[in-house]
Structure 1
Amino acid sequence: MKKLFLGLVIGFSGAAIVFNTSSVSAKKIETNISALFNSITIMVNGKHVDTDNFNYKGVTYVPLRSISELLGKEVIWNNENKTVSIGEQVPEEDQNPPLTIGEYGNTASNLANGGLIAGNDNWVYVSYKESLATPSTKDGLYKIKPDGTQQIKIASNVATYLNLDSDNIYFVDNGIYKLNLSNNQLQKLSSSGTRLVLVGDWLYYNDEDNRIYKMKRDGSQKHSVVNDGTLINVVNNDLFFMRKNVLFKTNILNPQEKKLYTFSSETTLEPIIQNGKIYFHDHRIVYSMNFDATNRKAIYQSEKNNIFSLNVDNKYILLDEGNDGNHGQKTMVKLTLDGKVKDEIGESGLRLYSTSNHYYVTDISAGYNEWYYIDGNKRIPININ
């Protein structure tokens, strides 16, 4: 059977056709052609379509609006920038989600460490579980002052993947929740959820079957984005995700998976995508590479036996390192973004978090969780009452 290649044009009349197109990917072209009109029968979903057509060099062209509207797609012509838009339009704020730390839910580094903290200059929100083995009346979500004082319990949920906007905090706890910060009203947005990232007006999350979904902040317009993948981050409409030990990305507006990088078995499988770079470590060496996985290089090698946690903000790379296991002493090291040592801060912990130039660590002692605020070269206990 001979293949029919179908092209679409905005409209036409007369024997001489002028193509006049302009876009970011094609140069403006104007040329005259001769073509054979109305030589093809057009069928859409088994029904004859009464519309003009012409054939040119084996390609059949029909009016864009006629076919699109028959397929249930709205066609919008923007004369100012000479753009044709088909189908549901993506709001401008969703096309270019903000990237700067503090402008969306949480930092990529905090989320890579489980998202147990999110905050700003006024309040820091901390998830707390007193004992790893047993429930406690102290368990829950707290807001505290940046220096660790004034702890106020705002929910009983042991929350993970905390994300903030100006009015609400979103988190995971056997589902996805939205907590209004002014009246503590709690709303369940989804019955499933294991990871969560807030970007622009959209919440991206994993379900228990490792599928990635997106929905509006109010829980509406929920739909699938990736059928199989562990959510990492969303940057400039590119959704980054892991499948086993391989990092992929796909464009949200034009889905097409692209394999970026395969991590070795020694590498931590939670890369941090931030500041235009991808950061990761293999317990001894910190690496960085570009968003397209090029220019991979080692930027820091620890003299200790283990790097326990990695965190990157807009100015520094922070890490916890030590010679012993989880219960041994750990030291926080501050690096410049190119990996040069700036400072050794002092005793640290298992997981490291940053909010608005404040640093926090959580540690485990005899099966109990402990939170600390880093003040200069000291760690100060945050006593959850």
Structure 2
Amino acid sequence: METVSFNPPLYKQRYQLVFELVEKYKARKVADLGCAECMLLSRLKFCNCIEDLIGVDTDLELLKEKMYRLSPLPCEYLQPRASMLTVRLYHGSATVKDCRMLDCDFVSCIELIEHLDISELERFPEVVFGYMNPTVVVITTPNADFNPLLPGIMRFRHWDHKFEWSRAEFQAWSLNIGNKFGYKVEFTGVGKGPVGTEHLGFCTQVSIFLRQLSKAPQTEAKNSKMLYKLVYEVVYPSLKDKKIQQDIVLNEVIYAAECMRRQIVNSHYDDEGQGAENWNQNERGSEQTEDGKLEKIFRPKDSKRLNVCKIDGKLHIPLINLFSMPKVQQLSGSLQRLEEILQATDRVVLSACGTSLLYPADDDRNED
């Protein structure tokens, strides 16, 4: 028999399905029960809609070993998220009630239920659907009908599996839960077999539960306990953090000011017959300062901006010019907010009236 292979690998297909569902339903608080090596969580953290991401598993040592997969990357400090994201890992069981799980929007249980014994499996629906009662629940489990296509399997696919259900068994179990707790159930799967084996279904079978009723009142919450042990918690850099937002805005402002300085330096070379094509995009001229000197000014082609002038070795860049930069405008939100950010830092200097940024104009600023 031809060996069955999957491309992409089966676990990646499962994770991609969950990722797409989270984005489809714009879930804000997502929990992965039985998160194991945190692979799915490390994928889900890139969903921009998620603000709280939770992993729960019974294997404490595995959580401690793999939790650093969820640490922010260096690039995530350079380009913070627009929204907040907090990631937490808990040592606990999907069959135990913990009040911190009450307001989850989306719960995934990927290849989990087949590891539960009979008593745990009986408690599982009440905890997840009755107590947590999220908007969406996704459960995946091996499809026993597909097992004949997998060579070397004697009984189950993994030594720790307590059972593996056929499609009929899994669907009957899922529909019973849906009817009891008010969920509509959709069935799908990942991992197609070879041509001619379509009657066996997917290698992994999937139930998608969609809550049909309004969220049940959480009367138990007042008496619920925090039975899970917090193993890891990290807050990702976000533009919602004022300090981070200020730093990013300042970086963009300084970058924009440096671009303007370089344009003016190029304009000086133009006067000497060098690189005239850079200057032709803008108007140029001169103004007389209070001490009688003529200083070169730079008038951006955009008529909405004001003049940038050079006085005593400093560029006077109107804040309205900086605010007109798309990235600066997006990050600061308003000209008033931009002014507040620039006034609150010593990284830049403003004019006495506070309407212009003073920036070194010389090509070699170390000689200023």
Bigger fraction of residues in helix:
2
Q: Which has the higher contact order (CA 8 A, sep 6+)?
A: 2
TM-score, scaled relative to structure 2? 0.24
Query: Is the radius of gyration larger for structure 1 or structure 2?
Result: 2
TM-score, scaled relative to structure 1? 0.23
Bigger fraction of residues in strand:
1
